[in-house]
Structure 1
Amino acid sequence: MEKIKWQQLNNIICIDNEKSIDAFNSDWSQEDVAHYFESLLERYREISLDNVHLGADRVSYDVTWRQSHYWLHFECYSQSIWFEAIDLISEENLNAFYRYLTNGQ
């Protein structure tokens, strides 16, 4: 399985596109998002899906990890993928979540 390079920036965790080329095609579309999301769930088994929100050029998944809630955004126009804390508890657990993502390869 290809390695995903994550980086933490302030209150979000995003994929470093320059270092994750093998894991995600550099030119993906909204039709690819479900496949990428499923591959992330297979890789990170402690993440569970709560809800899906479809937008014009963004798909956002409401996910839970160890009782913390995050948005996982797939922005098609900018080709960006990132986790964002939904509440204060999740924001406080962001560092632990980042460690899980970076060690859970």
Structure 2
Amino acid sequence: MTAPLSAYLVPIALLVASNVFMTAAWYWHLKFTSTPILTVVLLSWSLAFFEYCLAVPANRIGYEVFSAAQLKTIQEVITLTVFVVFSALYLGQTPTWNTGIGFAFISLGAWFVFRG
């Protein structure tokens, strides 16, 4: 018997949401270089709290249908995707061809993990 589609999609949706928080926690402050580092760390930890609140259930639920390696691979591909969007929209740094090629190689690695 196969798992329902939601068993596959819910963890992915939670990982996308968690990565939005994590990317913001890691990179929001790059536009605010005059903000004291302690303030940056405390605000980033606050954002990271929400990332953990989403990532932990995503992995717990996802482990019912994915292996640990597959979950990590999904998370990394999502991280790169969220980062590219964040970098372009928030930081104003559009990806270059080299970035695209590098991410393509990472995606090729992900394909091997899921290949079976």
The TM-score with structure 2 as length reference comes to 0.27
Report the structure, 1 or 2, having the larger helix content. Answer: 2
Please tell me whether Structure 1 or Structure 2 has the larger radius of gyration of its CA atoms. Answer: 2
The TM-score with structure 1 as length reference comes to 0.28
